[in-house]
Amino acid sequence: MERFILVLVVLAFFLLAVWGMRVGWRRKARSQSARVAPFPQLPEEPGEVEFEAKGLYVSTTTAGNWQDRIVTRGMGLRGRAVLRRYAGGIEVDRAGAPGFWIPEESIVDIKRGSAIAGKVMGSDSLLILTWRLGEVELDTGFRGDDHGVYPQWMESLTHKSKGGAQ
């Protein structure tokens, strides 16, 4: 009988912890929805795909704070994704979750990194896009299946941000 009571206490503690995490996640999503605008959607006519990369959408965080994950409007869920480069911006097409559009004029920086909420690695195997959404600057992390395409992404975005023509 003592063992049964102990199992019930441990189970109750576990369920209480899961409930607390859920409440905290929802509270964070509510507070973020007030300060983070809805993510832009893919335009009806985005143009031709210049190139794409398949991989894992890791997360979007506030810029410079790699552990402050944006969880509002379904953005906190990591999963398989495809990044598509268009002349006017980047589409983040997430499998089983809402995708979004990063307009060209919103992109501030692109770099390789080793950490963002949900993923920490020993090498620079993350592609991190820094961009502005309204008054908030965000970092979106992507881990490509083929890291060899990162220079193409970085060159494309760095070249345009410095005023060069393609």
| For the chain, domain boundaries | 1-35, 51-161
Confidence grade of residue 66 (pLDDT, cut at 50, 70, 90): confident
Nearest Cα to Cα of residue 101 among 164, 10, 39, 28? 39
pLDDT at position 159 is 55
pLDDT higher than threshold 90 for residue 121: no
Which numeric CATH code is attached to 51-161? 2.30.29.30
Which residue blocks in 52-133 are alpha helix, DSSP H? none
* pLDDT in the model for residue 160: 53
How confident is the model at residue 29, as a pLDDT? 80
Q: In the chain, which ranges are E strands?
A: 51-62, 79-86, 89-94, 100-103, 107-113, 115-116, 119-120, 126-133, 136-144
Reported confidence tier of residue 115, pLDDT bands at 50, 70, 90? confident
Segment 40-59 shows an average pLDDT of: 91
Side-chain half-sphere exposure of 25, counting CA atoms within 13 A: 12
* E strands in 26-97: 51-62, 79-86, 89-94
Does 2 score more than 50 pLDDT? yes
pTM for this prediction: 0.80
